[in-house]
Structure 1
Amino acid sequence: MLQVLPALVTGGVERGTVDTAKALVRAGWKAYVASAGGPMVRELERAGAVHVTLPMASKNPLQIWRNVEKLEELIRTLPVDLVHVRSRAPAWSARAAARRCHVPFVTTFHNAYKAHNWFKRFWAGPMARADHVVAISNFVAEHAHRRFGVPESLITVIPRGTDLNWFDPSRVYPDRIAKLAKEWRLVDGLPVILLPGRLTRWKGHAVLLRALDILARRRGRQDFTAVLLGDNQGRNAYQAELEELIARYDLKTSVRLPGGAKDMPAAYMLADVVVSASIEPEGFGRIAVEAQAMGKPVIATDHGGARETVLPGDTGWLVPPGDAEKLAEALEAALALTPQRRLQIAALARAHVQRRFTVDGMTDGYLKVYTDLLFPQRG
């Protein structure tokens, strides 16, 4: 079994790849991963999978063509019985190599890939021309069918899985929380509003800042701390825009931009409410699921995968994308929750994730797809 992706850096695609490889090894399969490498290679190899370093992140047509030959050689010599690709650029090479070797070819739509012009549809084309397509949400599945013409019979929805051993409130010790609280310069007694996510415009940071301004004016005070948690990944101009908005709204004492954080469970533990303010629909919405696993109420935008991960009225709120007024109303409601209601939400939220969004559930789904393709007579 060969999984192919651009690189093994930190992210939802990479996390799913490594978790699937671990499950394959436990089930007695030989698990191979081809990518340009990255910090998660070590974890992959510790689990017993084999990593092959190839320039799979390249979008250069010449390199893509060269990768076909390299992958074909891998498939024939290892040998490989099935190829699973998780991104558009390497899909061109992986599909061609799989077809040459007459092995099943599986793709995962990790997002609702853009298809508003011919080139976008062309670029994502190999992802749709597979023996089976996995979608990470019903929203993505519908998009793959409607915009890329993938037959519904060839689509399986497998939501991303969350590691409930890592995202477990009972396993986050006080020293981890205290360390992060000091780094963020939190003020004792003030509730914390957390928006995790890299600093990029579509994540909706500006919408949250407008909502915080509205909230502060309604309450007549800034009795909260908001943390915009994420690296700017070189988007210095965008971060400067956010800092200008913070100054314009006179929120300097109430908003933190600490960069990224490695200890996300501790970050969630510090939050009184977690916000996902994306102005474009997300294919899944990992932040909302992780926050709920930690027992935190969530406010997310009412589109994309969030409609499938948040239970309005039970585990959080859904608000119209880009609507700062509605977001401010939801923030006010979240900050007004009683301790008893918070405990109820925490229990409902974690149970919701345990039912639908576990790593085991995800990997079981993938193994079933692989097995059904390789051994159709068993069905």
Structure 2
Amino acid sequence: MAPVRVAVLGHTAETGGAEIALMRLLEALDPRWQVTVILFSPGELESQLRQRGIAVRVLPLAQRTASRGRAQLKDPRTLLLSGRDSWGFVGRLAQLLRAEQAELVVANTLKAAVLGSLAARRARCPWVWHLHDRISADYLPAAAVPALRLLARTAHGVVANSHATARLVRLPAERVAVAYPGLPEESFAAAHQAPPTPVFGMLGRISSTKGQREFLQAAFTVAAADPSAAFHIVGQALFNDHEYAKQLEDLTSQLDLAGRVRFAGWSARPEADLDRFSALVHASPVPEPFGQVIAEAMARGVPVIATAAGGAAEILTEAPDPVPAPSPGEVLRTPLGQLVAPGDPRGLASAMRWVIDNPGDAESAAQRASASARRRFGAASAAAVCGEVWSQALAAASPRRRRGDAG
């Protein structure tokens, strides 16, 4: 049987969580899928995909549109300029899809879904949305939420990265599959060796939505009680977050933490950074769609402290239903880790102190979490779910395509 030609669309070539999840998925896919990734801008992701032997095409979208963050969707001027840029881009994208003889279009980001759905319709292809974003007013401008939920109804399949993400699409359960972003085998470690002195770390993009500010505020409290504790922030600012990164450096000086906090920048080997932590801190003050770094820390056997919202709570409780957040300053300890309220430095500090005071219990929870991660977050499992959704989308669209071709 000839492989199915699939065009996977992404609007950015920066390597954020959705892009890392995509690379891992493509490496684990069944050979029946012949994938070409179409990026709307050049960058690091293009190089990483090519290194993995994955076909890539770059179809540039105007920079002023490609670089807009989701918060800017409410600016009428932005919408007007983006509309002008997008109108011509959709036509070029449809032409490329036809040239690539794509049989299925898969959108991996919000912008890719908006533009790709229109181009797929012109190219007479079914399309599937791999949803890595919360379709909610706490994550997107309120005006965009109903439009994106309506867009999801036009997809031939939706794959959400958590049950928390899936609930917000407001589609019947049978219309949305959940595939946790998969981890390759090398992500898993046999055992974690805690460092001799406490090291608490954050790993990921520097952004106000990730909670580095709250982490520093908690670090101030922990540092006052334990002079040996150190704090690492691993990652860099992307998109429009460079001013926030500068504010973090200023805050570090104001809190007199300059000798205790290490800004490590981008890491080529994040697993090595995780192994240096006494615990990973996931401090997002807003609900996250998933929380990929939590799964990565669990796989390494590293204790985890996270905020009880969105996918993060789901990961540390193995419960698909929402978990009530602890009160400010309180900590919810699960068999797999610790949860605190979003935007709560006091709770983060209390959870960090518990790791210092109870290293044996923290490591026991981390070992249970590692076993849980192996059960739930393997790349092969994610590939199987996505492959099934892709197959169903092709099967559902085939009769309509035949009728259209006959006309």
TM-score by length of 1: 0.84
Three-state SS of the structure 2 residue aligned to 1:31 is strand
Of residues 295, 304, 309, the one that matches 1:298 is 304
- Counterpart of 1:18 (choices 15, 23, 46) is 23
Residue identity matched to 1:31: V
Alpha-carbon separation, structure 2, partners of 1:338 and 1:90: 44
Choose 134-143 or 76-85, whichever is displaced more: 76-85
1:285 counterpart = 2:291: yes
Q: Distance in 1 between matches of 2:143 and 2:302?
A: 42
The 10-residue stretch of structure 1 (297-306 or 131-140) with the greater mean CA deviation from structure 2: 131-140
Out of 28, 32, 54, the position equivalent to 1:28 is 32
Query: Percent of counterpart pairs with the same letter?
Result: 27
| Partner deviation per Cα, 1:250-303 (whole Å, 9 max, x = no partner) | 322222223222211110111001101110111000111111111011000010
Q: CA deviation at 1:14?
A: 1.5
Matched, 1:255 2:258: no
Residues 60-109 of structure 1: CA deviation (Å, up to 9, x unaligned): 32332223222322333332211111222232332122223332111122
Q: Among 151, 154, 176, which residue is 1:155 paired with?
A: 176
Note if contact 1:22-1:48 (Cα within 8 Å) is conserved in structure 2. Answer: no
SS in structure 1 of the partner of residue 285 of structure 2: coil
Determine whether 1:373 maps to 2:380: no
Structure 1 residue aligned with 2:124:
102
* Correspondence for 2:221: 214
Q: Give yes or no for contact 1:57–1:89 (8 Å, CA) kept in 2.
A: no
2:349 corresponds to 1:328: yes
Contact 2:303 2:363 in 1 (8 A): no
Q: Residue 201 of structure 1 aligns to which amino acid in structure 2?
A: S
Match of 2:160 among 135, 140, 145: 135
Contact 2:337 2:362 in 1 (8 A): no
Q: 2:42 aligns with which of 26, 32, 37?
A: 37
Contact 1:5 / 1:57 at 8 angstroms: preserved in 2?
no
1:346 matched to 2:366? The reply is yes
User: What secondary structure, in the 3-state scheme, does the structure 2 residue paired with 1:72 have?
Assistant: helix
Check whether the contact 1:292–1:298 (CA below 8 A) recurs between aligned residues: yes
Deviations 1:146-202 (A, max 9, x none): xxxx3333111111112231x233599x9xx9xxxxxxxxxx842101112222222
Give the aligned residue type for 1:81: E
CA distance in 1, matches of 2:215, 2:20: 28
- Higher relative contact order (CA closer than 8 Å, sequence separation 6+): 2
Measured against aligned partners, the alpha-carbon deviations of 1:109-161 in whole angstroms (never above 9, x if no partner) come to: 2110344532454467534531211111111111111xxxx333311111111
Q: List per-residue Cα deviations over 1:327-347 (Å, max 9, x = no partner).
A: 2111111112234x4543332
2:93 alignment partner in structure 1? 71
Q: Which runs of 5+ in 2 are unaligned?
A: 1-5, 66-81, 318-332, 398-407
8 Å contact 1:6–1:57 — kept in the other structure?
Answer: no
Q: Aligned partners of 2:22 and 2:91: how far apart in 1?
A: 23
Give the alignment's TM-score, normalised by structure 2.
0.79
- The equivalent of 1:180 in structure 2 is none
Q: Could you tell me whether the CA contact under 8 Å between 1:88 and 1:126 is conserved in 2?
A: no
Q: Is the CA contact (8 Å cut-off) linking 1:229 and 1:261 kept in structure 2? A: yes
Listed as ranges, the matches of 1:88-237 within 5 Å are: 88-115=110-137, 116-119=141-144, 121-122=146-147, 126-145=151-170, 150-165=171-186, 167-169=187-189, 189-217=196-224, 219=225, 221-233=226-238, 235-237=241-243
* Residues 72 and 250 (structure 1), Cα distance of their counterparts in 2 relative to 1, 3 Å cut: closer
Between Structure 1 and Structure 2, how many residues are aligned? 355
**Bigger mean CA offset, 272-281 vs 77-86:** 77-86
Aligned equivalents of 1:57 and 1:337: distance in 2?
A: 53
Q: Which residue of structure 2 aligns with residue 183 of structure 1?
A: none
Question: Are residues 1:275 and 2:278 paired?
Answer: no
- In the TM superposition, residue 356 of structure 1 has moved relative to its aligned partner by 0.7
Tell me how far apart the structure 1 counterparts of residues 207 and 390 of structure 2 sit (CA, whole Å). 35
| 8 Å contact kept, 1:113–1:124 | yes
SS in 1 for 2:206: coil
CA deviation vs aligned residue, 1:335-362 (integer Å, no higher than 9, x gap): 12234x4543332121111111121111
Which stretch has the larger CA shift, 221-230 or 114-123?
Answer: 114-123
Shift of 1:321: 1.0
Contact 1:141 1:155 in 2 (8 A): yes
Question: Could you say what secondary structure the match of 1:226 adopts?
Answer: strand
Extract structure 1 runs of 4+ deviating beyond 6 A. Answer: none
Instruction: Point out where structure 1 has 5 or more consecutive residues left out of the alignment.
Output: 178-187
What is the Cα deviation at residue 374 of structure 1? 2.0
How far apart in 2 are the matches of 1:370 and 1:236?
38
Contact 2:28 2:379 in 1 (8 A): no
Which residue identity does 1:89 align to in structure 2?
K
For residues 199 and 43 of structure 1, what CA distance do their matches in structure 2 show? 21
More off after superposition, 126-135 vs 79-88 = 126-135
CA contact (8 A) 2:149 2:169 kept: no
CA–CA distance in 2 between the matches of 1:46 and 1:241? 36
The 8 Å contact of residues 301 and 367 in structure 2, kept in 1 or not, is answered as yes
**CA displacement at 1:32 relative to structure 2:** 1.4
Instruction: Measure the CA separation in 1 of the matches of 2:371 and 2:261.
Output: 31
